[in-house]
Structure 1
Amino acid sequence: MTHNVLVVDDEPKLCDLLASALGQNGVCVFTAGNGLHALKVLEAEDIDLVISDWRMPGMDGPQLLAEIKTRFPHLPVIVMTAYSTVKNAVQSMRNGAFDYIAKPFDIDELDITVSKALEFRDILKDNQRMRAELDEHQQIDSLIGDSPSFRRVLQAIDSVRESNATILLTGESGTGKEMVARAIHKHGNRADKPFVAVNCAAIPEGLLESEMFGHRKGAFTGATSDRVGRFQQADGGTLFLDEIGEMPLALQAKILRALQERIIEPVGDPRERKVDVRVIAATNKNLLEAVAAKEFREDLYYRLNVFPIPLPSLRERAEDIAPLARHFAHILGATAGKRITGFSAEALQAMANYAWPGNIRELQNCVERATIVASGTVIEDQDLPAYLFAARPVDSSGIFTDGNSVPSNLDAALAEVEKNYILAALAQSNGVQAAAAQLIGISERSFWYRLKKLGIHVDKIVR
């Protein structure tokens, strides 16, 4: 794992010396000439260790140490001083410094002190990551259900979790693809290593290559320092590539090479780096259709599709709606300071009749709102959002189940289904069109086209 170290000293020659010495051990070194400059670097970069001089003009070492302990309490600091007295050393340690070294210092002694500090930083990061993952699983772990379609998902997770095979998760937006990816990582042979998630659709195309592979200082305008990419961050662990279908064609070839050869090349750096990552990709697109349309590389598709796991929509696992809702009510009720014991029969029936275009994510949002609104320990049908009762009930194929006969005009019936889905998504998203488009798994442009075609005028919807 590459570490970033910030050296703060008003003597440029000493900064260069430390950068050269630490760089031989694979450390990426940033430098700052004073405390104020150092704080700017800390705000912009992911720094693992600060080595700071004791006496500097402006903000000196003790002042910088105090600021770091306030803003970055878990960041270790090593203090350097040419005025090595017991008083200075004790003061720095009492104020939170990890250690101190006296100038002039021995390089071997420096290496030992730096190694100990970085090891300490790694332990803290691992503990923070594990706590965060534990909290996330406790709060929104949605791997719950006993429907046949979901049991197949659980069986697939159990089959592949101990392997290093590349996995492709497919399914509608909101079906829990990231939760499945985290479960595979958590219960696999890389559980003690990093889990790094990247949303390929959320990063601007011009920055995606740098985000994935990293870059060298000066590689492009704005590259003011070296940056470690997501592949290196996930080294030894799991890299989750969400919305892989949105990845630009130009970058797909480099992703393919990284998967095939486990080698990456940071932007602006001709040196290749080996990485050991387990890749899990996810998409709500039909990638075979994208391949046929020349929007996705065929060779990358087959490289990703080593172990496919299709995730069912919530409509296809309707018997899981009630246990999922109870789970969310228990967790979210506790978070809101309420004791929710369950749902009334009418509330459960209303949720069973609804189509859930946003799947598990929409169900969780619905239950969260209901727990806030509910006045008692049982969630009633009136506590549920009104949009659940606006659309006609459908089964897993999208056919109406309210007893009406087959429609004589298929196009009109399909338009009504489409309109109901869009209205429900708009209600769920409080009228935010981009969020509504994401709920039903289509692009914003496609969503706007459908609004115009169906004559839907959007106002801010208050739930």
Structure 2
Amino acid sequence: MTHNVLVVDDEPKLCDLLASALSQNGISVFTAGNGLHALKVLEVEDIDLVISDWRMPGMDGPQLLAEIKSRFPQLPVIVMTAYSTVKNAVQSMRNGAFDYIAKPFDIDELDITVSKALQFRDILKDNQRMRAELDEHQQIDSLVGDSPSFRQVLHAIDSVRESNATILLTGESGTGKEMVARAIHKHGNRADKPFVAVNCAAIPEGLLESEMFGHRKGAFTGAVTDRVGRFQQADKGTLFLDEIGEMPLALQAKILRALQERVIEPVGDPRERKVDVRVIAATNKNLLDAVANKEFREDLYYRLNVFPIPLPALRERVEDIAPLARHFAHTLGAAAGKRITGFSPEALQAMANYSWPGNIRELQNCVERATIVASGAVIEDNDLPAYLFASSPASTSAILSEGASVPPDLDAALAEVEKAYILAALAQSNGVQAAAAQLIGISERSFWYRLKKLGIHVDKIVR
């Protein structure tokens, strides 16, 4: 695992000396000339250890130590001090420093002290990761269901979890692709290593390469320090590449090389770095169509599609709606301090009749809202959002029976239903797009895409 160490000293030569010594052990070193600069670095970089001088102009060592213990309480700090002020270093340890080294210091002694501090940091990180996974039990446990289509997903997870095969998760937005990726990691042979998730659509194209592979200081404007990329962060663990279909073509070639050869090159650094990463990719796009349209590399597609797992839409597993809803009501009700025991038959029927275009994410949002507004222990149909009743099969049949023209094919029919559904959400949110997206359980970006695709102009809706 690569570690990041911040050296804080107002003597540039000493900073360079320490950087040279530590880098021999594969450590990435950041430097700062004073305490204030150090705090700025800590705000933007994932630092594992701080080595700070005792006496510095402006904010000195004791002041910096106090700030670090206040803002980053689990970050270890090693204090550097002259032999004549060892008693000050002892006092700093009482104030929370991990250890101290006396100037002039021995390189071997430095290596031992730094190694112990980084081992301590790793233990803390592992504990944090374990706690985070416990906190995420709701997400993992959300793999609820016994429908035939979902049993196939569970069987696939069980088949592949102990392997290192690259996995491609496909399915509509909100079907639980990240939950499945986390379940595979948690129950696989890399469970005690990092799980790093990257949303390829959420990072600006110009920063995506640096985000994936890291960069060296000075590689481009704004690269004021070295940065470790997501591949290195996930070393020995799992890298989850969400919305892989949105990745720019130019970067796809570098991702392909990283998958094939297990090496990366940080931006601005010609040296190759070996990585051992299990990759799980996910998309809601048809990648074969993207390949045909020259929007996605064919060789990368086949490299990712080693073990495909298609996730069914919620409307394709209607029998799972009730157990999922009960699961969400139990966990969300407990978090809100309310005891929800279940749903009325009318509420369950309304949820079963609804098409759930936002899938599991939309169902969770729906149940969360119902949990908040419910006055009793049982969620009634009038506790559910009104839009659930606007596109039920009964109302759709009524519309068609009134003489409305039937769309010429299924895609056109679904587009009409989707458009009516989005218009209803916009009407309910008074035209506020962010609120409408939240109502139906999809991201704002996906909502804007659907508006454009369906030719919906919001200024014509708001009244």
User: What secondary structure does 1:366 align onto?
Assistant: helix
Maintained 8 Å contact 2:140/2:182: no
Maintained 8 Å contact 1:98/1:117: yes
Maintained 8 Å contact 2:363/2:441: no
Maintained 8 Å contact 2:167/2:309: yes
Q: Which residue of 2 aligns with 1:30?
A: 30
Maintained 8 Å contact 1:344/1:381: yes
Over 3 Å counting, the alpha-carbon distance change for 1:441 and 1:201 in structure 2 is farther
Superimposed CA distance per residue, residues 360-419 of structure 1 (whole angstroms, 9 cap, x where no aligned partner): 000000001111111111111111111111113389999999999978998985553232
How many residues end up aligned between the 2 structures?
463
Q: Which residue of 1 aligns with 2:423?
A: 423
Query: Which 10-residue stretch deviates more, 26-35 or 161-170?
Result: 26-35
Maintained 8 Å contact 1:244/1:283: yes
Maintained 8 Å contact 2:140/2:180: no
Residue 254 of structure 1 and its aligned partner are, at CA, apart by 0.6
Query: Which 10-residue stretch deviates more, 202-211 or 403-412?
Result: 403-412
Maintained 8 Å contact 2:176/2:361: yes
Q: Which residue of 1 aligns with 2:375?
A: 375
Give the CA RMSD over aligned residues. 3.4
User: What secondary structure does 2:348 align onto?
Assistant: helix
Query: Which 10-residue stretch deviates more, 215-224 or 430-439?
Result: 430-439
Over 3 Å counting, the alpha-carbon distance change for 1:41 and 1:403 in structure 2 is same
User: What secondary structure does 1:422 align onto?
Assistant: helix
Residue 214 of structure 1 and its aligned partner are, at CA, apart by 0.7
Residue 457 of structure 1 and its aligned partner are, at CA, apart by 5.4
Maintained 8 Å contact 2:332/2:368: yes
Maintained 8 Å contact 2:177/2:282: yes
Maintained 8 Å contact 2:174/2:442: no
User: What secondary structure does 1:85 align onto?
Assistant: helix
Over 3 Å counting, the alpha-carbon distance change for 1:11 and 1:447 in structure 2 is closer
Q: Which residue of 1 aligns with 2:238?
A: 238
CA distance in 2, matches of 1:338, 1:402: 44
Query: Which 10-residue stretch deviates more, 398-407 or 236-245?
Result: 398-407
User: Aligned residues: percent identity?
Assistant: 92
Q: Which residue of 2 aligns with 1:257?
A: 257
Maintained 8 Å contact 2:362/2:440: no
Residue 422 of structure 1 and its aligned partner are, at CA, apart by 2.3
CA distance in 2, matches of 1:311, 1:411: 20
Query: Which 10-residue stretch deviates more, 139-148 or 180-189?
Result: 139-148
Over 3 Å counting, the alpha-carbon distance change for 1:253 and 1:380 in structure 2 is same
Aligned counterparts, 1:44-55, within 5 A: 44-55=44-55
Residue 141 of structure 1 and its aligned partner are, at CA, apart by 3.2
CA distance in 2, matches of 1:395, 1:270: 63
User: What secondary structure does 1:267 align onto?
Assistant: coil
Over 3 Å counting, the alpha-carbon distance change for 1:148 and 1:100 in structure 2 is same
CA distance in 1, matches of 2:111, 2:449: 61
Residue 252 of structure 1 and its aligned partner are, at CA, apart by 0.6
Residue 35 of structure 1 and its aligned partner are, at CA, apart by 1.1
CA distance in 2, matches of 1:188, 1:359: 26
CA distance in 2, matches of 1:158, 1:399: 44
Structure 2: 5+ residue stretches without partners: none
Over 3 Å counting, the alpha-carbon distance change for 1:231 and 1:153 in structure 2 is same
User: What secondary structure does 2:399 align onto?
Assistant: coil
Maintained 8 Å contact 1:357/1:425: no
User: What secondary structure does 1:78 align onto?
Assistant: strand
Maintained 8 Å contact 2:166/2:278: yes
Structure 1: 5+ residue stretches without partners: none
Superimposed CA distance per residue, residues 108-131 of structure 1 (whole angstroms, 9 cap, x where no aligned partner): 001100000011111111111121
Query: Which 10-residue stretch deviates more, 128-137 or 176-185?
Result: 128-137
User: What secondary structure does 2:456 align onto?
Assistant: coil
Maintained 8 Å contact 1:140/1:328: no
Superimposed CA distance per residue, residues 162-200 of structure 1 (whole angstroms, 9 cap, x where no aligned partner): 011100000000000000000000000000110000000
CA distance in 2, matches of 1:402, 1:126: 62
Query: Which 10-residue stretch deviates more, 161-170 or 434-443?
Result: 434-443
CA distance in 1, matches of 2:7, 2:455: 61
Query: Which 10-residue stretch deviates more, 409-418 or 264-273?
Result: 409-418
Maintained 8 Å contact 1:144/1:320: yes
Superimposed CA distance per residue, residues 292-327 of structure 1 (whole angstroms, 9 cap, x where no aligned partner): 111111111111110000000000000000000000
CA distance in 2, matches of 1:156, 1:409: 33
Maintained 8 Å contact 2:166/2:279: yes
Superimposed CA distance per residue, residues 222-260 of structure 1 (whole angstroms, 9 cap, x where no aligned partner): 111111111111010100000000000111111111111
Residue 290 of structure 1 and its aligned partner are, at CA, apart by 0.5
Maintained 8 Å contact 2:212/2:229: yes
Superimposed CA distance per residue, residues 270-306 of structure 1 (whole angstroms, 9 cap, x where no aligned partner): 1111111110000000000111111111111111110
Maintained 8 Å contact 2:265/2:272: yes
CA distance in 2, matches of 1:394, 1:154: 33
Maintained 8 Å contact 2:35/2:59: yes
CA distance in 2, matches of 1:408, 1:221: 54
- TM-score, normalised to structure 2, is 0.91
Maintained 8 Å contact 1:263/1:274: yes
User: What secondary structure does 2:235 align onto?
Assistant: coil
Maintained 8 Å contact 1:315/1:396: no
CA distance in 2, matches of 1:342, 1:431: 33
Over 3 Å counting, the alpha-carbon distance change for 1:335 and 1:429 in structure 2 is farther
Q: Which residue of 1 aligns with 2:141?
A: 141
Over 3 Å counting, the alpha-carbon distance change for 1:446 and 1:91 in structure 2 is closer
Maintained 8 Å contact 1:2/1:28: yes
Superimposed CA distance per residue, residues 310-346 of structure 1 (whole angstroms, 9 cap, x where no aligned partner): 0000000000000000000000001101011111111
User: What secondary structure does 2:462 align onto?
Assistant: coil
CA distance in 1, matches of 2:396, 2:189: 36
Query: Which 10-residue stretch deviates more, 299-308 or 14-23?
Result: 14-23
CA distance in 2, matches of 1:25, 1:60: 28
- TM-score, normalised to structure 1, is 0.91
Residue 40 of structure 1 and its aligned partner are, at CA, apart by 1.2
